[in-house]
Copies of this chain bind each other. A is one copy, B any other.
């Protein structure tokens, strides 16, 4: 299990703009082998921004690497930077994580709620 996160510092008052970009995008992730789930996450509010994170779970880091070299990746990022300016403070910060330990509640309902 591999978690690919991009952290976005969204300017205060621009949250709706930022969410709309994500809500209206065409996602091609489901076409990729090893794709498990995607979530756009809204995190803590800081003094001048709200932290958001795109959060994609892949079966392995190798599946993620294949995605970054795919046509689908190129398409997904073709419009990056074309959104309304002043939405983001700085560039997104990428962090990739490999699972060391995993514990699942098999009895739990789906997380997609």
Residues of chain A at the chain B interface (Cβ within 8 Å): 1, 3, 19, 22-23, 27, 29-30, 34-44, 51-53, 55, 57, 59-60, 95-105, 108-113
Contact = CB atoms under 8 A, between A and B. Distances in A.
Integer count of this chain's copies in the complex: 2
Nearest to A104: B37
A17 to B, nearest CB: 13
Contacts of A40: 99-101
A40 B101 CA distance: 5
A1 B41 CA distance: 9
Main secondary structure of the interface of A (DSSP, over half): strand
B44 A101 contact: no
Contact of A101 (B23, B36, B51): B23
Contact of A51 (B35, B43, B57, B95): B95
Closest 8 CB pairs of A and B: A41-B97, A40-B101, A38-B103, A43-B97, A102-B112, A37-B104, A40-B100, A36-B108
B1 A111 contact: yes
